[in-house]
Amino acid sequence: MQGNGLRPNHPFVFPLLRAALVFSLLLTGCSGGKSTSPVKPVPLTLEASGAGGASQRFTTSTLAAPASTDTIPVTFTQALLVVRDVRFVLEDGDDTDTLGVGDAVLDDDDGGQARFHGPFVIDLLAGAPQTLDTEMVPPGAYQRAQGHLRALSGDDGPAAAHSSLIGSTVRLEGVIGGEGGGPFVYSARIDNEFMIRGDFTVLAETPATAFIVFDLTQFLTSREGHFLDPRVVDNDFLIKQAIRHAIKVGMDDDHDGEMDDALSQVEE
């Protein structure tokens, strides 16, 4: 005899051990350890708009008076821009996209990113923000927004409604006023990536809205602040660069319909 202790093969030993193990696990789960509950994604809506309006005045520039205060009126009658995709990257996320001329080469792993797939044709004269898409994304602090400007292909969904834009990324139509003015049509292919760093925060359990804004006042403005006549072929490269640098992004973290912080602008 071994006193009053239970032998290992006693019929009550194993049930007691199982009960003790379950109780131990319950205590561990209540002991303040790290939670393994998955983070619930929240809806993030992407909206786009143009800023500046159809009627604008640009500063003129001449060799004799580079700092001239004279202005020239420009009225846009059409302003369309193609954005291939937009993505917001978390602080710990990796940007594994490969940038190249032509179609973007995108990695299939969207970990650490909130990605909106286009292409999107944005009417910059619409007068109100256009909802592009809504995606379920993990909450957190997104450190940058990135995207691609790409030409519209005939196989793209929006092509049927924008046949004049096929093969181009941007199409501007309007009238230049003043002496020597007249109508213009500017159409160009832009294959470029843009990056905007900022604090784009998506709160837990709260829908959010991201705004991507294209400032028309900068589309025909040189880095020195002077008017770029879209009818002059030599201005083509400068206008493309101006368009890329006219992109801004802001957030409505709490989904109250208003932007919470100042717009962040594309990097150099």
Band of pLDDT at residue 98, cut at 50, 70 and 90 = very low
Band of pLDDT at residue 96, cut at 50, 70 and 90 = very low
Specify the pLDDT at position 251. 85
User: What mean pLDDT is predicted for residues 81-101?
Assistant: 69
Specify the pLDDT at position 17. 40
* Amino acid at residue number 79: A
Which has the minimum average pLDDT: 188-192, 224-228, 230-234? 224-228
User: What mean pLDDT is predicted for residues 136-151?
Assistant: 93
Band of pLDDT at residue 256, cut at 50, 70 and 90 = low
Would the pLDDT of 64 be above 60?
A: no
Specify the pLDDT at position 254. 64
Band of pLDDT at residue 12, cut at 50, 70 and 90 = very low
Would the pLDDT of 170 be above 70?
A: yes
Specify the pLDDT at position 102. 30
pLDDT top residue among 163 and 8: 163
Instruction: Return the percentage of the chain with pLDDT > 90, whole number.
Output: 56
Would the pLDDT of 106 be above 50?
A: no
Specify the pLDDT at position 198. 87
Specify the pLDDT at position 225. 86
Q: Which residues contact 60 (CB under 8 A, 6 or more apart)?
A: 68, 70, 71, 72, 226, 227
Specify the pLDDT at position 252. 79
Specify the pLDDT at position 190. 96
Specify the pLDDT at position 266. 63
CA distance 202 to 45: 11
Residue 49 structure tokens: 């708009």
User: What mean pLDDT is predicted for residues 33-52?
Assistant: 80
Q: Which 3 state secondary structure label does DSSP give 204? A: coil
Q: Please give the angle made by the CA atoms of 81, 83 and 88, to the nearest 5 degrees.
A: 140
User: What mean pLDDT is predicted for residues 143-172?
Assistant: 95
Specify the pLDDT at position 101. 29
Q: For all residues of the chain together, what is the average pLDDT?
A: 79
The CA-atom distances, in angstroms, between 40 and each of 148, 206, 242 are 28, 10, 39
Would the pLDDT of 154 be above 90?
A: yes
* Radius of gyration for the alpha carbons in the chain, expressed in angstroms and rounded: 28
Band of pLDDT at residue 60, cut at 50, 70 and 90 = confident
* Other C-beta atoms lying within 10 Å of the C-beta of residue 71: 14
